[in-house]
Amino acid sequence: MSKASPRATITDVARAAGVAISSASAALNDRPGVSTETRVRVRAVADQLGYVPALAGRSLASKRAFSVGFVVERDYDIIQSDPFFGGFIGGIEESLTPRGYALALQISQDEAGSEARLVELIESRRVDGLFLDEIRINDSRLAALSARNAPVVAANAPRGEFPFPSVRQDGTAAIRSLVEELVKLGHRRIAHVTGPDAYEHSIERRDAWASAMLSHGLEPDVVIPGDFTYEGGEHAADLLVEDDRGATAVFCANDLSAIGVMNRLHRRGVRVPEDISIVGYDDISLGRYVRPTLSTVQTSPRLLGTVAAEMLLAAIEGAKVQDIEVAPAAFVRRESISTRPADVKH
Amino acid sequence: MSKASPRATITDVARAAGVAISSASAALNDRPGVSTETRVRVRAVADQLGYVPALAGRSLASKRAFSVGFVVERDYDIIQSDPFFGGFIGGIEESLTPRGYALALQISQDEAGSEARLVELIESRRVDGLFLDEIRINDSRLAALSARNAPVVAANAPRGEFPFPSVRQDGTAAIRSLVEELVKLGHRRIAHVTGPDAYEHSIERRDAWASAMLSHGLEPDVVIPGDFTYEGGEHAADLLVEDDRGATAVFCANDLSAIGVMNRLHRRGVRVPEDISIVGYDDISLGRYVRPTLSTVQTSPRLLGTVAAEMLLAAIEGAKVQDIEVAPAAFVRRESISTRPADVKH
DNA sequence: TTGAAAGCGCTACCAT
DNA sequence: ATGGTAGCGCTTTCAA
């Protein structure tokens, strides 16, 4: 191939096929009103010319961007170790590509920035719709986007009042069975290392833990603040060791902090699981690479992404989209839990 | 705000400001030929109307998509644990956003698919340019993209003949100093767990290791095939244990496989670093979360992303872009290495 | 400095 | 079934 031959346009195709532009368009897009013969001829000419429709033209005429946006709100350096991110995006892509849609991915460090990026994406009509995850209590993105009538699909939005359709994966059942498992192993004091209070899913996990504890007649009182990071887990471990309520098991709001807890306990001479049992949440691959391997709640970010993308495309096409609940997360027992140490009294 | 008020266009702005569309356009884009007074008035009207230029219009008229593409070639489930991915994308984003560009991210499972996606992105003019990483020997993407005159910037392309500009981070110096460090600790047999032969960077790391070994008068003969995965590392550990050449240290082509090696050795009763020292490559965060913490070569994916994006934008604007070399990767010593076990003879 | 108008590539409507 | 044509929202000449 020689120098930058300007790409063939639909006009070229029409001319070469000896038909009107409108017929060429109809033929290429499987619209009715074209004879089979014409359709075939146009197609042949089109791919002989290597014709690929230009997005900008389609976009301008059809008033659709053929892309959807996702803004990841993370510290640049933390994205690496993010559990949800990769899987969710992979899932999104999986539904998007066959439909000719692309994903515009943006990254933002903070809440204000991420809202600004979302608004910018939608207002510049760079995207036809948006994904939202990690919903905050009083999340300001919600009002900003509903005011603009943006098609939006959320992942794991809180139940109840919520302005957009959401795909959800229930984790409460898994949390209940994890508590039950620990109780069976003799544990009575099961602590919880939380996520940041600002997030709906932090609260949800905490509530699920608390209610499971209560249903076993146990007091959900050992609550250690965490922040979903490894370092937050390390700090939580320190607090736990200094705590005098003698927790023998800990349920952490995510795997990364659970691993922080685990490693810190180890460094301080506390044995896992002999002295303290640990359970995380997410099932990041890392959990299988640490020693002891981490018991956790297995979630399905990729599936959530696939479903979310399907929902969003439907919403963009004007359909009334219902919430979808995927199969609930499941408790996965690995090495990090065992029976309550014999010498602990209650 | 009420229902879907159609967004203001430049025509609305021009009319409201009482000027021609062309003047409004010039005023809004800082082009000369507009009086300060007009400029001010147009701007005022524009943001009173909440005007945001529509991408499709700009795109069609200016023949630019204002986005660039990146196709990640990964198994959907592996993306999660990918070290390079997140940082690189974060860096790209960092340079893109201030310039009004967005990133179109695609994911592909295999080589053929990823080439198809790249071609599709560029031919549909959905993007103005592309990033390439993980270059293969005889990478078919190269010809496909140069034939199409696509602006492309690669990350860590092989030195020598290469059709596109590349940002690179040298790792050979770090590998040399890692070998030197191990030699100082008394090691003589330093094995290498490779990446897949198909990748240029696998070869590069292996060559660097071999040449460092030779410069110390050591034979680079213990080469164990790996594939950059955790499981590949586990398998390599098995091979290593069964190998009779008595390696006392291993340099793995990446951190993930190094951690696989480490955990597997541990399970098989080989102590790290007492019996065998281990070094990885990448410096993924995970390396600091395992026990012992992993010695490694620290790379800078985010910086590579930032620089690559700057280069790509320049290339898109027609500039002749030179290769850029960022500060070399550095060897980071952590707990996974120590002196050669006393009982090993050579 | 300003305005008018052409045209980017496509879709969609309306005649024929 | 087919062709002509009016835009979509913007940039960019070119006259005035």
Please write the tens of the pLDDT for every residue from B201-233: 999 999 999 999 999 999 999 999 999 999 999
Whether any strand C atom is under 7 angstroms from the Cβ of B109: the reply reads: no
Give the separation between CA B197 and CA B195, rounded to whole angstroms: 6
User: Is there a contact between A156 and A168 (Cβ–Cβ < 8 Å)?
Assistant: yes
* Average of per-residue pLDDT across A136-155: 96
Smallest CA–CA separation between A42 and chain B, in Å? Answer: 18
A89: nearest CB among B105, B123, B126:
B105
Name which of A67-71, A74-78, B50-54, B168-172 the model is least confident about: A74-78
Query: In whole angstroms, what is the distance from residue A186 CA to residue A338 CA?
Result: 9
CA pair distance B322, B324, nearest whole angstrom? 6
Q: For residue A202, what pLDDT is reported?
A: 97
Distance A64 CA to D1 C1' (A): 28
Rounded CA separation B212/B221 (Å): 12
| B171-300: in CATH 3.40.50.2300 | yes
Strand C lies under 7 A from the Cβ of residue A22:
yes
Report the pLDDT value the prediction gives residue B312, as an integer from 0 to 100: 98
Cβ <8 Å between B65 and A56: yes
How high is the pLDDT of residue A240? 97
Q: Quick check: B90 pLDDT over 50?
A: yes
Q: What's residue A4's pLDDT?
A: 52
The answer to whether residue B182 scores a pLDDT higher than 80 is yes
Q: Using an 8 Å CB-CB cutoff, list chain B residues near A285.
A: 80-81, 230
List Cβ neighbours of B66 (8 Å cut-off, separation of 6 or more): B55, B58, B59, B100, B101, B102, B128
Residue B23, CB, strand C, below 7 Å: yes
Residues in a beta bridge with B328: none
What is residue A105's three-state secondary structure? strand
User: Rounded to a whole number, what is the distance in Å from the CA of B212 to chain A's nearest CA?
Assistant: 30
- Fold classification of B67-169+301-327 is Rossmann fold (3.40.50)
Strand partners, B108: B73
In the structure, how far is the CA atom of residue B48 from the C1' atom of nucleotide C1, in angstroms? 24
pLDDT at A45 over 60: yes
Task: Output phi, psi for A69, to 5 deg.
Answer: -120, 155
Contacts of B160 (CB under 8 A, 6+ apart): none
Per DSSP (E only), the strands in A34-175 are 67-73, 102-108, 129-132, 152-155, 166-169
Separation CA B147–CA B128 (nearest Å)? 15
Q: Where does B50-151 have alpha helices with state H?
A: 55-62, 83-96, 111-123, 140-147
> Are A103 and B102 a contacting pair at CB < 8 A?
no
* Mean pLDDT, chain B, integer: 93
Distance CA B266, CA B264 (A): 5
What is the rounded average pLDDT of the residues B158-167? 96
A79 — pLDDT class (breaks 50, 70, 90): low
| pLDDT value at residue A2 | 36
| Crossing angle for the helix pair A10-17 and A21-28, to the nearest 10 degrees | 100
Tokens in use for B322? 């030179």
pLDDT tens digits for A117-132? 999 999 999 999 999 9
Task: Mark the nucleotides of strand C covered by protein, meaning any atom under 7 Å from a CB.
Answer: 1-14
Q: Is the CB of A62 under 7 A from strand C?
A: yes
Q: What is the pLDDT of residue B314?
A: 97
Extract the tokens encoding B56.
């499709």
In the predicted structure, residue A258 carries a pLDDT above the cut 50: yes
Q: Which residues of A touch B67 (CB under 8 A)?
A: 104, 126
A77 falls in which pLDDT band (50, 70, 90)?
A: low
Q: Tell me the shortest Cα–Cα distance from B99 to chain A, in angstroms.
A: 13
Q: Do B80 and A284 touch (CB under 8 A)?
A: yes
* Contact list, B51 vs chain A (CB under 8 Å): none
pLDDT digits (tens, 9 = 90+) for A187-245: 999 999 999 999 999 999 999 999 999 999 999 999 999 999 999 999 999 999 999 99
Region for A50 from its dihedrals, namely left if φ exceeds 0, alpha if ψ lies in -120 to 50, beta otherwise: left
The reply to whether A171-300 shares the fold of A67-169+301-327 is yes
- In this predicted structure, the answer to whether residue B187 has a pLDDT above a threshold of 60 is yes
- The pLDDT of A159-164, averaged and rounded, is 94
Asked whether residue A58's C-beta has any atom of DNA/RNA strand C within 7 A, the reply is yes
In angstroms, the CA of A57 and the C1' of C2 are apart by: 29
Angle at B262 between CA B261 and CA B263, to 5 degrees: 95
| Other beta carbons less than 10 A from residue B161's beta carbon | 6
Main-chain dihedrals φ then ψ at residue B22, nearest 5 degrees:
-65, -35
Nucleotides on chain D that have an atom closer than 7 A to a protein CB are 1-14
Reported as a pLDDT band with limits 50, 70 and 90, residue A81 is low
Mean pLDDT over B287-304 rounds to 94
Lowest-pLDDT choice from A74-78, A140-144, B253-257: A74-78
Which pLDDT score, from 0 to 100, does residue B207 have?
A: 98
Kindly determine whether residue B107 and residue A85, on different chains, have CB atoms separated by under 8 Å: no
Contact B164, B154 (CB under 8 A): yes
pLDDT grade for B343, boundaries at 50, 70 and 90: low
* Record: contact B104-A106, CB cut-off 8 A: no
The single residue listed with the structure tokens 């303290």 is A276
Chain A nearest C-alpha distance from B223 (Å): 24
pLDDT given for residue B75 in this prediction? 73
Q: Which residue of B has its CA nearest to A102?
A: B104
Q: What is the mean predicted confidence (pLDDT) over B168-197?
A: 97
* Cβ–Cβ < 8 Å for A250, A190: yes
Provide the shortest C-alpha distance from residue B228 to chain A (in Å): 15
Contact A237, A300 (CB under 8 A): no
Residue pairs spanning A and B at CB distance below 8 A? 170
User: How much is the average pLDDT of B297-304?
Assistant: 96
What is the pLDDT averaged over residues B48-75?
Answer: 95
Chain B closest-CA separation from residue A305 CA (Å): 11
Does the beta-carbon distance from A60 to B65 stay under 8 Å? no
Is the separation of the CB atoms in A189 and A243 below 8 Å? Answer: no
Per-residue CA distances from B331 to A257, B158, B297 (Å):
27, 21, 4
**Which residues of chain B have a CB within 8 Å of the CB of A117?**
97
Question: Residue-wise over B269-283: b if at least 16 C-beta within 10 A, else e?
Answer: ebebbeebbbbbbbb
Distance B19 CA to C3 C1' (A): 8
- What type of residue sits at position A154? A
What pLDDT, on a 0 to 100 scale, did the predictor assign at position A200?
Answer: 96
pLDDT tops 80 at residue B76: no
For domain B10-56, give the fold: 434 Repressor (Amino-terminal Domain) (1.10.260)
For residue A325, pLDDT beyond 70: yes
pLDDT in tens, B29-57: 999 989 999 999 999 999 999 999 999 99
Contact A65 B56 (CB under 8 A): yes
Contact yes or no for B52 and A120 at CB 8 A? yes
Judge whether residue B34 contacts strand C, using its CB and a 7 Å cut-off. Answer: yes
pLDDT band at A60 (very low <50, low <70, confident <90, very high): very high
Interface test with B, best of A148, A264, A289, A291 (most B CBs within 10 A): A289
Region for residue A151 given its phi and psi (left: phi exceeds 0; alpha: psi -120 to 50; beta: otherwise): beta
Mutate to test the interface with A, among B2, B10, B62, B76 (most CBs of A within 10 A): B76
Residue A284 has pLDDT above 70, yes or no: yes
Rounded Cα distance between B127 and A55, Å, is: 9
What pLDDT was estimated at residue B302? Answer: 93
Rounded Cα distance, B208 and A140, in Å: 52
State chain A's mean pLDDT as an integer. Answer: 93
Rg of the Cα trace of chain B? 26
Structure tokens at A122: 């939608």
Whether residue A5 is predicted with pLDDT greater than 90 in this model: the reply is no
At residue A96, does pLDDT exceed 50? yes
Tell me: pLDDT of A3 over 50: no
pLDDT band per the 50, 70, 90 thresholds, residue B106: very high
B125 and A263: CB-CB below 8 Å? no
Q: Report the percentage of chain B scoring pLDDT > 70.
A: 95
| pLDDT of A1 | 37
What are the residue boundaries of the structural domains of chain A, listed by start? 10-56, 67-169+301-327, 171-300
Question: Which carries the bigger pLDDT value, residue A46 or residue B345?
Answer: A46
Residues touching nucleic chain D (CB < 7 Å):
A 18-23, 26, 32-35, 37-38, 60-61, 63; B 6, 9-11, 21-22, 25-26, 28-29, 31, 51, 53-54, 56-58, 60-62
Res B1: pLDDT: 37
* 8 A C-beta contact, residue A299 and residue A169: yes
* Gap between the Cα atoms of B16 and B50, Å rounded: 12
Residues of A in contact with B65 (CB under 8 A): 55-56
Residue B346: pLDDT over 50: no
A10 touches strand C (CB under 7 A): yes
Neighbours of B6 (CB within 10 A): 7
C-alpha A284: how far from chain center: 13
pLDDT exceeds 60 at position B144: yes
Q: What is the largest CA-CA distance in chain A?
A: 90
Q: What is the pLDDT of residue B2?
A: 35
